[in-house]
């Protein structure tokens, strides 16, 4: 009688190349985009030398592109904010690299400290602001690449905020 428990693999499974998936060169899932963001955040040499601060406008730099996605590096001096906006058809991952940013949505306000991540769906409306006395740096991954960033009027109820993944670890589990 055959059963799953009777299955045994003879030899080295790593030698059975046709059964193994090749590692992806680019992310394709939410968890992989979160992982990309975490790996860039962990390697300061990729982004720290590029950071600039501008007191007149938010500074940003496109750090990387891939098939259908973009990675942006932003700096925020005290008082700088994005205004209430969404990202059109793009989903995103926001990771705070240094400092603290505040995210405001119709659901409430949340402080995002160093290492905090937010994953959001297309049409998710929020405002991000540095309301501390220290500069902040953030990393943003958009899929598909950011082509539209519609601004919204505060208190305007025509835009709805789709759910985000509040527990990033659940996304990557």
- Please check whether residue 18 lies inside any domain of the structure: no
pLDDT band at 15 (very low <50, low <70, confident <90, very high): low
* Domain region containing 157: 23-163
Mean pLDDT of the chain: 84
pTM reported for the whole predicted model: 0.78
Spatial strand order in the sheet of 127-129: 108-112, 101-105, 127-129
Q: How far apart are CA 90 and CA 87, in angstroms?
A: 5
- Please check whether residue 112 lies inside any domain of the structure: yes
| 8 A C-beta contact, residue 90 and residue 146 | yes
In angstroms, what is the C-alpha Rg of the chain? 20
- Please check whether residue 7 lies inside any domain of the structure: no
- Please check whether residue 2 lies inside any domain of the structure: no
- Please check whether residue 120 lies inside any domain of the structure: yes
- Please check whether residue 11 lies inside any domain of the structure: no
- Please check whether residue 17 lies inside any domain of the structure: no
Looking at residue 13, its pLDDT comes to 61
Q: How far apart are CA 36 and CA 30, in angstroms?
A: 10
Residues forming a β-bridge with 95: 117, 139
The per-residue pLDDT for range 100-156, each reduced to its tens digit, is 999 999 899 999 999 999 999 998 999 999 999 999 999 999 999 888 777 888 765
Q: How many domains does the chain fold into?
A: 1
- Please check whether residue 146 lies inside any domain of the structure: yes
Residue 169 has pLDDT above 70, yes or no: no
The enclosing domain of 72 has a CATH number of 2.60.120.10
Sequence-separated (6 or more) residues with CB below 8 Å from residue 82: 58, 126, 127, 128, 129
């Amino acid at each position: 009688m055959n059963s799953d428990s009777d299955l045994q693999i003879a030899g080295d499974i790593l030698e059975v190349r046709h059964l193994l998936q090749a590692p992806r060169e680019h992310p394709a899932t939410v968890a992989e985009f979160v992982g990309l963001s975490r790996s860039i955040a962990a390697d300061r040499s990729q982004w720290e030398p590029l950071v600039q601060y501008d007191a007149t406008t938010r500074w940003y730099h496109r750090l990387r592109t891939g098939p259908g996605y973009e990675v942006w590096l932003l700096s925020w001096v005290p008082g700088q904010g994005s205004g209430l906006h969404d990202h059109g058809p793009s989903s995103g991952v926001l990771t705070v690299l240094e400092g603290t940013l505040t995210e405001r949505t119709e659901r409430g306000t949340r402080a995002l400290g160093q290492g905090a991540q937010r994953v959001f769906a297309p049409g998710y409306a929020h405002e991000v602001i540095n309301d501390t006395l220290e500069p902040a740096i953030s990393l943003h991954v958009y899929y598909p690449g950011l082509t539209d960033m519609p601004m919204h009027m505060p208190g305007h109820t025509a835009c709805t905020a789709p759910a985000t993944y509040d527990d990033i670890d659940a996304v990557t589990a």
